[in-house]
Structure 1
Amino acid sequence: MAKNLVIVESPAKGKTIEKYLGKDYKVLASYGHVRDLLPKEGAVDTANDFAMKYQNIDRNSKHVDAIVKELRKKDNTTLILATDPDREGEAISWHLLEILKKKRGLMKEKVVNRVAFHEITKKAIKAAVDDPREIAMDMVDAQQARRALDYLVGFNLSPLLWKKIRRGLSAGRVQSPALRMIVEREEAIEAFIPKEYWSVEADVSAQGENFVAKLTHLKDTKLTQFDINNSELAHDAEASLLAAAEGKLTISKVDKKKRKRNPSPPFTTSTLQQEASRKLGFSAQRTMRTAQQLYEGIELGGETTGLISYMRTDSVNLSNEALDELRQFIGERYGTDNVPDSPRAFKTKSKNAQEAHEAIRPTSVNRVPDGLKQHLTKDQFRLYELIWKRTVACQMIHATLDTVAVDLTAGDAGIFRANGSVVVTPGFMALYQESVDDKKESDKGSKILPPMIVGERIDLIGIRPEQH
């Protein structure tokens, strides 16, 4: 008979955790939240220190009954609350305990422990159970404050929208400010007065490689954005430049500067969703559903193993154990020259980040994606590979690049400039590069230019005026 009852949120990981802990432990699931605010006015009493009135969630009552039944068994002495390690998980543990305390005699002489783990591996589960704590009421209070705001904003404003505009509309703590930002941006777009300008670019070739240079000086005048502001000026410039160049541009200046590019930090929930959208075309929902599967565990060699750490996090921290494993792996696989002198630390941008949490990372870097491919679905493999590469890259040495700016003259008619870069030492870029949503014109260094020297004459393929 089990002496310890462990409560998790999802039944998917229950069997795995029960197997890790052994016969003295029974694992049951709460299936998410067990209590919520009353669905009527007065659930949050603003006149009485924002007192909150809760009721049990009907659909989960049978799961609570199962927990009560197990706790009434004589041999059961300890309740272990092992819900997720975030604010929602902390609140679920607290709500469940509040329900259980109201059952006459149920919790008498019972030991109640709260444990939190960030990955579903045997080592992490056992370490968490060996180091229990009390429920963190600061986290519970934070979750309750969020829920109260959801209720106060949505419950009061949504009926007003139904009355004043039409039924079916809703307001909310998040969606209403987001909607305002969208409306303000749309108003700015509508108020924008377009102004015509033209750019002039040259298509050139050196050593068999084609690239583009932009006109920066026309005769002796340095151009600003609106200097060429109509078709006539643009085509006059094109004609004078072609006539002066006679099919060749001359290299008049080559500037080289060395710069370092550091890797991006490991994933948080939001950065994982953004990068999975850019690189994989996943929606946020698809990303989180797949990440949940990787976190809860995949069958590997007859045993279910969690492949990534907890996927709801705003921290970019990595544990010392994970850092040691990463540095050893990088040294063995990519060479010691790709391992920095000390572990790379990243600063969390979010002011409210839960720093005790870790970033999203593989539970073991030694589980390389290709070795797991046969065990994973296509989505699971692609997302795991993304997480694995980003995590390994974040602890590799920086990339070293030469940024190059080349000035090319068309006789005395004007000067074009080409910007690009040459990778000297790839470092982390050999494994992973972060994507961006919009490539800005000012993002120089993305093009690779051929070697060029001052005085060299290169082929002019053509000149293109472009309206903006």
Structure 2
Amino acid sequence: MSKLLIVESPSKAKTLKKYLGNDFEVLASYGHIRDLIPKNGAVDPLNSFAMKYDIIERNAKHMDAITRAVKSADSIYLATDPDREGEAISWHIAEVLNDKKLLKNKLLKRVEFNEITQTAVKHAIDNPRDIAMNLVNAQQARRALDYLVGFNLSPLLWKKIRRGLSAGRVQSPALRLIVERELEIEAFKSQEYWSIHLDALKHAHSFNAKLIQLNGEKVEQFTVINHDQQADIVGKLLLASAGKTTVSRVEKKQRSRSPAAPFTTSTLQQEAVRKLGFTTSRAMRVAQQLYEGVDIGSGTTGLITYMRTDSFSLATEAVMSIRDYVKKNFDAEYLPKSPIMYKTKAKNAQEAHEAIR
């Protein structure tokens, strides 16, 4: 019984072929194989937003290779990325194969894995599912909006302002947010204020203090509003203290700090920019390589989970494995009695996906 596995990336295909052996042929779609036709009428708002697709020219040869392989396969597994775009790519491949009448008496299933390890891949193959049309419809809605907004507004910008400008589903609202923020900045009325600090030294130990109370009243942000007032207060304090101050009370407090939440796509990019000086595009390229697999001496293996996610959740098996590692390698005080759980605040977050680990 011949089996065909279809993924998006050719480098991922090589890793999966190693895990699955000779029982499977593994081919890559190289991303999307279809897109809206590049002209008027691609999306028809008057006909339930019907969408007209065509094969992307640069990927036609890859779709042809998949078509040839399907003819001799008994089972086809669609293993595109575990997100809306990946689900849509699987659906497009299935639609093309259906149109060619190549799926009669063949098994066609969707498989999904968040990490490219032998265990995760084999578990996905053993537990296939149907294509999730709710995710496909979500991706199609976004693509239709991209077309309806961009295709119609961009030419208007060329006509009214200048050629080369573009509008879009995300770009245009983002531009409005920037403009509104800039207007707020321009309308802001600055106000001068001063804070008074003391640099103290005792037995070679220095510390800094801030004036928080004056004449029995709390010092607010705008209590001291000009240089002359600041100089008057400092002069009186120096005169009263004769250059010496007294520590009247010492308070010791214990503080605890919770660990940072697991990485999402945005927090991974932020840390890569802040700590490594990466651009966001470079951060995602490196993450893609780590996800698809790196040769670590014993063969190519995926080192992180899927890097496009807005969820903080971790798989139960992963949490148990992490806790077991901490228990074996560190003192008991470093292991919380129960796992720390994080909940995303973002609306419409894809909670079914794991955080990046």
**TM-score calculated relative to the size of structure 1:** 0.74
SS in 2 for 1:90: helix
AA of the residue aligned to 2:169? R
Residue equivalent to 2:137: 141
Cα distance in 2 for partners of 1:145, 1:255 equals 58
Cα distance in 2 for partners of 1:277, 1:266 equals 17
Residue equivalent to 2:21: 22
Cα distance in 1 for partners of 2:15, 2:220 equals 65
- 1:281-300 paired onto structure 2 within 5 Å: 281-300=277-296
Deviation at 1:303, TM superposition (A): 0.7
AA of the residue aligned to 2:92? H
On the 8 A contact 1:315/1:359 being kept in 2, the answer is: yes
- 1:163-178 paired onto structure 2 within 5 Å: 163-178=159-174
Residue equivalent to 1:118: 114
Deviation at 1:257, TM superposition (A): 4.0
SS in 2 for 1:41: coil
Residue equivalent to 2:58: 59
Instruction: Please identify which structure carries the higher helix content.
Output: 2
Query: For the structure 1 residues 221 and 354, does the alpha-carbon distance in structure 2 shift closer, same or farther, using more than 3 Å as the test?
Result: closer
- 1:91-106 paired onto structure 2 within 5 Å: 91-104=88-101, 106=102
- Larger CA deviation: 282-291 vs 221-230: 221-230
On the 8 A contact 1:30/1:60 being kept in 2, the answer is: yes
What CA deviation, in whole Å up to 9, does each residue of 1:273-293 have, x standing for no partner? 112212222211011000001
Deviation at 1:308, TM superposition (A): 0.4
Cα distance in 2 for partners of 1:221, 1:324 equals 54
Deviation at 1:103, TM superposition (A): 1.2
1:45 has 2:44 as partner:
yes
SS in 1 for 2:256: strand
Residue equivalent to 2:33: 34
Deviation at 1:336, TM superposition (A): 1.5
On the 8 A contact 1:85/1:116 being kept in 2, the answer is: yes
**Unaligned stretches of 5+ in structure 2?**
none
Cα distance in 2 for partners of 1:350, 1:19 equals 38
Higher relative contact order (CA 8 A, sep 6+): 1
Residue equivalent to 2:157: 161
1:245 has 2:241 as partner:
yes
Cα distance in 2 for partners of 1:327, 1:237 equals 56
Cα distance in 2 for partners of 1:88, 1:154 equals 19
Deviation at 1:39, TM superposition (A): 1.2
AA of the residue aligned to 1:244? A
- 1:304 aligned residue (300, 305, 317): 300
Residue equivalent to 1:130: 126
- Larger CA deviation: 348-357 vs 51-60: 348-357
What CA deviation, in whole Å up to 9, does each residue of 1:141-179 have, x standing for no partner? 011011111111111111111111111111111111111
SS in 2 for 1:22: helix
- 1:300-449 paired onto structure 2 within 5 Å: 300-361=296-357
AA of the residue aligned to 1:24? D
Identity among equivalent pairs (%): 61
Query: For the structure 1 residues 209 and 279, does the alpha-carbon distance in structure 2 shift closer, same or farther, using more than 3 Å as the test?
Result: farther
Cα distance in 2 for partners of 1:46, 1:177 equals 21
SS in 2 for 1:80: strand
**Unaligned stretches of 5+ in structure 1?**
362-468
Residue equivalent to 1:433: none
AA of the residue aligned to 1:36? D
Deviation at 1:22, TM superposition (A): 1.4
AA of the residue aligned to 1:101? N
- Larger CA deviation: 150-159 vs 275-284: 275-284
- Larger CA deviation: 312-321 vs 208-217: 208-217
Cα distance in 2 for partners of 1:359, 1:166 equals 43
Deviation at 1:208, TM superposition (A): 3.4
Deviation at 1:210, TM superposition (A): 2.1
SS in 2 for 1:260: coil
- 1:82 aligned residue (69, 79, 84): 79
Query: For the structure 1 residues 227 and 94, does the alpha-carbon distance in structure 2 shift closer, same or farther, using more than 3 Å as the test?
Result: same
Give the paired residue count.
357
Deviation at 1:24, TM superposition (A): 1.1
1:235 has 2:231 as partner:
yes
RMSD over aligned CA atoms reads 1.4
Cα distance in 2 for partners of 1:102, 1:59 equals 20
1:268 has 2:268 as partner:
no
Deviation at 1:226, TM superposition (A): 1.9
On the 8 A contact 1:331/1:337 being kept in 2, the answer is: no
Deviation at 1:249, TM superposition (A): 1.2
1:204 has 2:204 as partner:
no
What CA deviation, in whole Å up to 9, does each residue of 1:178-203 have, x standing for no partner? 11111111111111111111111111
Deviation at 1:51, TM superposition (A): 0.9
AA of the residue aligned to 2:78? L
**TM-score calculated relative to the size of structure 2:** 0.97
Cα distance in 2 for partners of 1:207, 1:50 equals 78
Cα distance in 2 for partners of 1:41, 1:6 equals 35
1:223 has 2:219 as partner:
yes
On the 8 A contact 1:311/1:360 being kept in 2, the answer is: yes
AA of the residue aligned to 1:81? L
AA of the residue aligned to 2:64? D
Deviation at 1:40, TM superposition (A): 1.4
